[in-house]
Amino acid sequence: MNEKNDLTKKKLDLYDTLFSQDTIDEILNQAESFLQNPIFLLDTSYRIITRSKYAEAENSSIETYNGENYLIFDTINLMQKSKCIDTIYNTSNSFFHYSEQNLIFCSVKINNITIGYIGVLESIRKLKESDLEYTDILSKVLSIQIQKENLFISNSGLAEEYYLVDLLENKIDNLEYFKKRLQFSKFNLEENLLMLSIPFKQKYNDFRHNFGLQQLINQLKNILGNSIAAYYKDMIIILVSNSNEYVITAEDSLLEFLKLNNLKCGISFVFKNLKFIKDFFYQTIYTLKLSSSMKSSKHIYYFDDYVEYYMFYMASNSNNDLYKISLENLIHPFLRKLIDFDKENKSDLYETLKTYIENNRNANETSHKLNIHRSTFFYRLNKIQNLFDISFDSTNKLLKLELSFKLLTYNQLIN
């Protein structure tokens, strides 16, 4: 049998694995028997989803973290510098990549969205031209099998998605390691962070419309600016980061977008430490749940407006499986800002506001308790309002701050 006929038979055999084999691993091992070289299947965050039998012994460019295997940073840097990653995303065909190690790369696409890619490493047999054609077929077969296994069904096809989901599911618990991996995305980790969740049902039968989901996410990111997004638990979730303390600087545009697409959005407190991202994600979840129970008809819901209702809900619910947000992350971020400002400037604004609220917003009583003149008190109060662009005219705002003062005091007592 000549080489061309042999290749045709091998390709048919590979297609046949869709009916004769049950898993991606079995398909990779079948492909390996022809390519005679290790085969890797990676996702777009450089994590190795699975690999063929020969590939199990190839660990020179791989590091293991929390039970997951990733390409090492040096290898990723080389792939980016040589534009290899760009080629993977921009073409559907296999191609040779020559460096310290010779490889074949090929993207794996679903609905024209790159959800991963194949790497064939020249290790046992020299790579040849016909291997490209065979790897093209392998890519198509894996795409079909992945859809059969629903392996990527919750994903939007965005490269950054895996970073956010891994963080939420504690697959990466070392923040420094996570930050290093983020360097390979377009997301900049700024001082202020915010979580958003937007319910959007994406059933498996509708997966062919995934392009629409990706478009929604891209439009949201254009509005929100520096952010990473994922499709997770039937929701579009977005982590936004900004040096501006308000984080979302185009709120009107966000509201118009949500109205136009008939979507609702839960928004967390502003936070600074990625370590607590899960708490702030669940702030958005409980905000959406509570707003629905209270039959609110808005499009944007802030956890700021539902903190006390969350506490009532948790106190009245006997379900021990409910996720509990830590007390520390229920405290209004405004108080954190006030504390930080006092430390940096050796001022007493936090104590001034706390005493004012504890004394029923009575200026005379507050001045007496702080042992300062009334004019000094009003100077401090105005300074707080001007510095942080906040008004104390709203009784509801002061009640929320009073609750946070009590939470902060209680949290300090129990710790």
CATH of the domain at 139: 3.30.450.40
State the total domains in the chain: 3
In three-state secondary structure terms, 21 is coil
Q: In the chain, how long is the greatest CA-to-CA distance? A: 101
pLDDT band at 258 (very low <50, low <70, confident <90, very high): very high
Same domain, 182 and 139: no
pTM summary value: 0.77
d(CA 84, CA 97): 7
In a domain, 384, yes or no: yes
- From the list 280, 306, 281, the residue with the least C-alpha distance to 292 is 306
Same domain, 9 and 134: yes
Residue range 81-132, pLDDT digits in tens: 888 988 998 888 999 998 888 999 999 987 677 878 999 999 999 999 999 9
Whether residue 247 contacts residue 293, with contact meaning beta carbons closer than 8 Å, is answered with no
- Domain end point (choices 148, 179, 195): 148
- The pLDDT value given to residue 51: 94
- The pLDDT value given to residue 156: 55
Lowest-pLDDT choice from 12-16, 24-28, 232-236, 277-281? 12-16
Same domain, 314 and 374: no
In a domain, 242, yes or no: yes
d(CA 362, CA 377): 11
In a domain, 156, yes or no: no
- The pLDDT value given to residue 344: 92
pLDDT score of 154 more than 90: no
Q: Report the share of the chain in percent with pLDDT over 70.
A: 91
In a domain, 327, yes or no: no
Sheet holding 192-199, edge to edge: 227-231, 235-242, 192-199, 265-267, 300-302
Higher per-residue pLDDT: 162 or 2: 162
- Number of Cβ within a 10 Å radius of residue 194: 21
Average pLDDT over the chain reads 86
Whether residue 242 contacts residue 225, with contact meaning beta carbons closer than 8 Å, is answered with yes
pLDDT band at 153 (very low <50, low <70, confident <90, very high): very low
Strands 300-302 and 113-121: unpaired
Mean pLDDT across the stretch 179-205? 83
Q: Report the share of the chain in percent with pLDDT over 90.
A: 48
d(CA 347, CA 363): 19
Same domain, 169 and 132: no
Q: Give the chain's length.
A: 415
pLDDT score of 226 more than 60: yes
In a domain, 324, yes or no: no
266-305: burial string, b at 16+ Cβ within 10 Å, e else: bbbbbbeebeebbbbbbbbbbbbbbbeeeeeeebbbbbbb
- The pLDDT value given to residue 3: 64
- From the list 345, 344, 349, the residue with the least C-alpha distance to 383 is 349
Whether residue 334 contacts residue 352, with contact meaning beta carbons closer than 8 Å, is answered with no
323-359: burial string, b at 16+ Cβ within 10 Å, e else: eebeeebbbbbbbbbbeebeeeeebebbebbbbbbeb
What is the enclosing helix (H) or strand (E) of 50? strand 47-51
- Number of Cβ within a 10 Å radius of residue 386: 9
d(CA 135, CA 285): 42
pLDDT band at 80 (very low <50, low <70, confident <90, very high): confident
Residue 368: domain span: 333-414
| Cβ partners under 8 Å of residue 179, min gap 6 | 189
**For residue 261, what is the domain's CATH number?**
3.30.70.270
pLDDT score of 7 more than 50: yes
pLDDT band at 199 (very low <50, low <70, confident <90, very high): very high
Chain position carrying tokens 């930050």? 179
pLDDT band at 204 (very low <50, low <70, confident <90, very high): very low
- Domain end point (choices 148, 179, 194): 148
Mean pLDDT across the stretch 184-212? 76
Whether residue 367 contacts residue 380, with contact meaning beta carbons closer than 8 Å, is answered with no
Residue range 270-318, pLDDT digits in tens: 999 999 999 999 999 999 999 999 998 999 999 999 999 999 999 999 8
Residue range 325-356, pLDDT digits in tens: 999 999 999 998 899 999 999 999 999 999 99
Strands 95-97 and 103-110: antiparallel
User: Which range, 75-84, 168-177, 307-316, has the best average confidence (pLDDT)?
Assistant: 307-316
Angle between helices 251-260 and 210-224 (to 10 degrees): 160
β-partners of residue 96 are 104
